[in-house]
Amino acid sequence: MADRPLLLKGTLDLLVLKALTLRSMHGLEISEWIDERAEGELEILDSALYQALYRLESRELIAAEWGVTDNNRRARYYEITPAGRAHLEKERASWLRYAQRVQAILALRTRAV
């Protein structure tokens, strides 16, 4: 586990918002959704996930509502708000630009002098 990359600040927010663009989910669903797509490369602690969820809810980028799961359990479901979608759109573009830049720099072949 030691070689799993650090999660950059703000990245988790984007992942959560991305997950919620598909449908509303509860916390565990979001966690599993990200795990599946990260193929075990990113381990996100649940405490971090929930802090992100609460933070996003406070900023009214997502909204929460108690609901019932397929297994008849009570769970808090999150959905993305229009403001959340706009935020994701904006941040996604700048994140991708940033990642490209970093990748391009790291991909340069350099020779030791």
Site for another protein in 77-106 (CB under 8 A): 77, 79
| Chain residues 9-48 in contact with another protein, contact rule CB under 8 A | 24, 26-28, 31-32, 45-48
Q: For residues 59-78, which are near another protein according to CB under 8 A?
A: 63, 65-66, 69, 71, 73-77
What's the CA gap between 23 and 3, in Å, rounded?
32
Strand 25-26 and strand 62-68: pairing? unpaired
Q: What is the DSSP letter of 66?
A: E
Region of residue 10 (phi > 0: left; psi between -120 and 50: alpha; otherwise: beta): left
Residues forming the site for another protein (CB under 8 A): 24, 26-28, 31-32, 45-48, 50-51, 54-55, 57-58, 63, 65-66, 69, 71, 73-77, 79
